Amino acid sequence: MDTGAGMDVDAGADTGADMGVDADVAVVGGGPAGLSGAIYLARYNRRVLVFDTGHGRSTHHQVNHNYLGFPDGIATVDLRKLAVEQLARYEGARIVHHLITSVEGDAERGFTLRSQGHHWRARAVLLATGVLDHFPHFPDWRSYVGRSMFWCITCDGYENRGRSILVVGHTDAAAGEAMQLHALTDRVRLLTNSHRDDISETFRRRLAHAGVEVVHDRIEEVEGADGQLRTVVTRGGLRLGLDALFSIQGATPETALARSLGVRLNDAGYIAVDSEQKTSVPGVYAAGDVTSLHSHQVAAAVHEGAQAASAAHYFLHPPELKAD
Residues 195-199 have a mean pLDDT of: 97
* pLDDT tens for each residue of 247-283: 999 999 999 999 999 999 999 999 999 999 999 999 9
Reduced to 3 DSSP states, what percent helix, strand and coil does the chain have, rounded to the nearest 5?
30, 25, 45
- Cα 317 to its chain centre, rounded Å, is 29
Tell me the pTM: 0.91
pLDDT(316) > 80: yes
What is the chain's alpha carbon radius of gyration, rounded to the nearest angstrom? Answer: 22
Of 155, 193, 199, give the one whose Cα is nearest residue 179: 199
Spans of all domains in the chain: 11-132+251-321, 135-247
- Which numeric CATH code is attached to 135-247? 3.50.50.60
DSSP bridge partners of 125: 26, 284
- pLDDT for 38-83, tens place per residue? 999 999 999 999 999 999 899 999 999 999 999 999 999 999 999 9
- Two domains, one topology: 11-132+251-321 and 135-247: yes
The answer to whether residue 185 scores a pLDDT higher than 80 is yes
Fold of 11-132+251-321: FAD/NAD(P)-binding domain (3.50.50)
